[in-house]
Amino acid sequence: MPHYLAIGVTKYEILHSTLNGLKVYDKAYKMKREMQDEMLYLSGIYTYEAVTTALSNAFRKKGSKAIEYRKEPILQSQKPTTAEEYRRKRAAVSNNLATMRANFRLAHQQTEKTENG
C-alpha cells in the first residue's frame, strides 16, 4: 500500500480497486519514470554539446573554423521512418534471423554427428 500512496494513488482507489486495476498505476508510473529518464538523458546530451562547443571554440587555433552548436532540437532532426524503410528494415531483420536459425541448425547437426559418430 505505501508504494501506491507514494506514486499518487488515493487510499479510496487502493481499497476499492482490484489487483489488475492497481497494475495500471504501476505501468503508468514506470512509463512516467522512463520519460523522465529520457528527458534527463537528452538534457545531458545538450549540456555536453554546449560545453564541448564552447571549449572547442575557446581553445581553437587562429584561422580554424568555429564549431557551431546544433541549430534544431535532437528530436526534430530525426527523420520519421517511411513505410518503405520500415518494410526494408523488417525484411533485413527477418533475413538475419533466418540466417541465424540456419547456422544454428547446421552447427547443431554437426555437434550431433560428432557425438554420435
Q: Give per-residue pLDDT as tens, 37-69.
A: 999 999 999 999 999 999 999 998 888 899 999
The answer to whether residues 63 and 13 belong to one domain is yes
112, pLDDT greater than 70? no
Tell me what pLDDT residue 40 has. 94
pLDDT digits (tens, 9 = 90+) for 74-110: 777 666 678 888 788 888 888 888 888 888 888 777 6
- Same domain for 57 and 113, yes or no, is no
Q: What is the C-alpha separation between 4 and 17, in angstroms, rounded? A: 12
- The total domain count for the chain is 2
| Co-location of 87 and 63 in the same domain | no
pTM for the full predicted model: 0.52
- Whether residues 60 and 90 share a domain: the answer is no
Residue that the C-alpha cell 530525426 belongs to: 78
pLDDT at 33 over 80: yes
Model confidence at 117: pLDDT above 70: no
Q: What share of the chain is helix, strand, coil (3-state, %, to 5)?
A: 75, 0, 25
